Amino acid sequence: MKRWAQATRRLVETPWRLVFIALSCFSLLAASCALIAGSGTYTVTVTAWDRYVRLGTSAATVGDALKEANVVLGPNDYSFPTPEAPLTQGLDIKVVRASLAFINDGGRIRAIETAKDTVGEILSQAGVELGPEDAVIPPAEERVPDDGRIRIVRVTYADVIEEEVIPYTVERRSDGSLEAGLVRTLTAGKEGLARVEYSVRYEDGVEVSRQEVSRELVREPSPQVLLVGTLQEVTRGSDNIRFNKAIEVVATAYCPCVKCCGPYANGYTHTGLVAEKGVIAVDPRVIPLGSRVYVDGYGFAVAGDTGGAIKGSRVDLCFSTHEEALAWGMKRVKVYVIE
């Protein structure tokens, strides 16, 4: 081990040995390039994707010289100068091998073998024609990216005519002859109609934006007119009833009997009142429990009960007897909420 190290050091330290090592390295480098030194008329060099050749040749054209250098051009490879060019002394011939580019043209992808550098050159080799607004990614003047992908976004325009509904406005008028809380429609609103022309921009067939070109009024909308009640006092028989609001409801009837209230009825309401005439069941979201009310055809009452079926504009009127409840049946009436 120690002797080997000493021998190596002696070898490296000797100047002549150093020269020998340098020469060896140089000849290795030279061997990596093919040197075809014939006794030709010209000495030229060929630089291809995989080799560098120095060639002595009597060939007349670049193409012949490439053959002698065993460089076979594929249909889309190219050499500079071109194969037809005459050979001259000292010429440096460069060969570029074709690679694949993938052109995504509005969603359709095609592969093309090309030795061109820029996107624009590749597209013209592929015979792709671009419209004035079509976009190319990367731009035509840039080099094709390493993955070979080129994207073309086709931009087109079309005129589109659409009918558009114009909503009507709502006009509310106070009406002193209508009870507060009630609203009546005096005039039904009517929607208008417009015919609108748009210029629509499509990218690869998909709409991306639109601009209004013209608008033609086909039909003017007409407003809806609502009458809003403000009346807060009505007369029923000898009673003057002042109220906060009136509600139109569907009123059904019941009595405390087993048929009306089930076998477990105890004769009391939800709020602990005795179930009797003058107590009505309400939806508390519409008429608050405890409200004093006047029900047309029934009289003064208290909103003192609720019921599973009493939802929204519905009330259930309690009568003393089953016969009276049956006689009422079901009616559409106004309830005046007094307080």
What is the contact surface with Zn ion in residues (CB under 5 A)? 255, 257, 259-260, 322
Residues 6+ apart with CB under 8 A from 3: none
CB-CB neighbours of 134 under 10 Å: 17
Shortest Å, Cβ 236 to Zn ion:
26
CA angle in degrees (0–180, nearest 5) for 36-42-45:
55
Nearer to Zn ion, 57 or 269 (CB): 269
Nearer to Zn ion, 136 or 281 (CB): 281
* Rounded CA separation 252/261 (Å): 13
Shortest Å, Cβ 317 to Zn ion:
12
Helices within the chain (DSSP H only):
2-13, 15-32, 62-68, 119-125, 258-261, 322-328
Nearer to Zn ion, 17 or 259 (CB): 259
* Rounded CA separation 21/33 (Å): 19
Shortest Å, Cβ 228 to Zn ion:
39
Tell me which residue has tokens 């003393």. Answer: 320
Shortest Å, Cβ 271 to Zn ion:
20
Shortest Å, Cβ 323 to Zn ion:
9
Nearer to Zn ion, 54 or 322 (CB): 322
Nearer to Zn ion, 93 or 261 (CB): 261
What's the length of the chain?
339
* Rounded CA separation 160/103 (Å): 31
Nearer to Zn ion, 180 or 255 (CB): 255
Helices within 62-130 (DSSP H only):
62-68, 119-125
Could you give the strand order of the β-sheet that contains 155-166, starting from the edge strand earlier in sequence?
Answer: 155-166, 192-203, 206-219
Shortest Å, Cβ 318 to Zn ion:
9
